[in-house]
Each structure stands twice: as structure tokens, then as C-alpha cells.
Amino acid sequence: MIAIGGGRGPERRSIGALMSAFGFLQRQVVHRSSVISSRAKIGLACQVMAGATVGPWATIGEHVIINTGANIDHDCVVKDCSHIGPNAALAGEVIIGENVFIGTNATVLPRIKVGDGSTVGAGAVVTRDVPPNSVVVGVPARVVESKATH
């Protein structure tokens, strides 16, 4: 059995696929102090750290890290290869795209969508949808960079 905690989501997925080809099993790693609703769905090779909570009807994709103390509320969707930072909070019905990084203590308000490949800076409060491949920071969060332009 393996758990891949480092690197970005696509790197975790690639390393996991390589290790699986050699016969290693990819499993979920869930800390005993985390709380996951019996109605939530957690994907392959996810890691849920100490004190994290995942609410009812939340859906977590594959190779996702839910870091220490993070809160993912009801009906949220976190797509593959994303990372929810320590003490981050996703309010109800939030959709986090693929390969998204949510920074420490960031808050995403209800029914917000964060586009694929985006980064939400530490402590940001996201009050409106975030376009794909964007970097947002501040209170309220605002786009400061588009990764697509690099």
C-alpha cells in the first residue's frame, strides 16, 4: 500500500499509476480524528488529515488532499488532484475544479465554483466564481494572475 503526499495533484496521480503498475495498492488515508459523513463519497488515493471534516453528500475525487482541520460542507464537490489547505473552509454546494489549490485558512462561500487549475491564496475569502487557471487572493478574493498567460 502507498500514500503519496507530496507534489501537485497530477504528479501524485502519475506516481500512483506507476506504482500501481508495479503492484502497489493505492488507498485512502484517513486520520482517526477526522469526521467523514456516511453520506459523503471519497475517491481513490485521497488523504484526509487530522481534524478535517467532510459533510453529507460531499463528493471528493481521486488523489485529493484534505489537510489538517479543513472543513468541506454538505453537497460540495472537490474534483481530482486538488488540495484543500489546513483550516480551509468550503461552505455548502461549493464546486472545486480539478488540480486546484486552496490555501491555509481560505474560505469559499456557498455555491461558488473554483475553476480547474486555480489557486486560492492563504486567508482569502472567495465571494464569487473563480475562472480556470487563476490566482485569487485577499478579502474579498480578487484575481491577481492568470496562469494561462504564462
Active site residues: 74
Q: Which of 72-98 are b and which e, b meaning 16 or more Cβ less than 10 Å from the residue's Cβ? A: bbbbbbbbbbbbbbbbbbbbbbbbbbb
Nearest Cα to Cα of residue 124 among 108, 112, 111: 108
Alpha carbon distance 112, 95 (integer Å): 6
DSSP lists the bridge partners of residue 120 as 102, 136
Amino acid 101 reads F
Q: Are 57 and 40 in contact (CB under 8 A)?
A: yes
